[in-house]
Amino acid sequence: MAAGDWDALALADDTLKGMAPVDFMDADHDEFDTDKKTDEYVSAAKRLIETRLMKDLPELVVRAEGPKAFLDAATTITNVAAPIQQMLGWSFLIHYYRQEMFSNTDKFFFLMEESKGSFEVAFTGFASYMQRDEDFLDALEATSSSDLGKFDDPVYVG
């Protein structure tokens, strides 16, 4: 299985259109504003996911030799492409709304909290699935110089 590339993975416009269609509309042109999706915000979103993996799946992350190697392996699994985009989108929105709170505290605070809840659901589902997917464990083993082995009792994430 080919190695994936977490660093090069882009946050799809369609992902944000489905999650925050109103907040990302350009009022002057009545179309989706892709300028709000900055590299800085996408990088912050990825760092949140990497940090959560270290917290919730430390055994797999250590054996993968880091969260980026874990996610490189995860991006090779086609049936989790949509959940990865969901995690990335909700994580992006958490960061985006946190920054926007400085201009309008109430509205963006509630949107940020709602995004956090949705991120938790997406992340927990992803983490639970990845611990059990044989293709992923094989891909993860291929990214690691150590023998990963299979987990008979996956760590509970919840």
Does residue 32 sit within a domain?
no
The DSSP call for residue 94 is H
Does residue 130 sit within a domain?
yes
Does residue 27 sit within a domain?
no
What is the extent of the structural domain holding 130? 37-143
Does residue 26 sit within a domain?
no
Does residue 25 sit within a domain?
no
Alpha-carbon gap, residue 11 to 6, rounded angstroms: 11
pLDDT digit string, tens, across residues 51-109: 999 999 998 898 888 999 899 988 888 888 899 999 999 999 999 898 888 877 788 89
Alpha-carbon gap, residue 80 to 54, rounded angstroms: 19
How far does CA 146 lie from the centroid of its chain?
A: 25
DSSP 3-state of 26: strand
pTM for the predicted model, two decimal places? 0.81
Confidence tier at 34 by pLDDT (50, 70, 90): confident
Does residue 114 sit within a domain?
yes
Does residue 20 sit within a domain?
no
The number of distinct structural domains making up the chain is 1
Does residue 149 sit within a domain?
no
pLDDT digit string, tens, across residues 107-157: 889 989 999 999 999 999 999 999 888 888 887 777 655 544 544 455 556
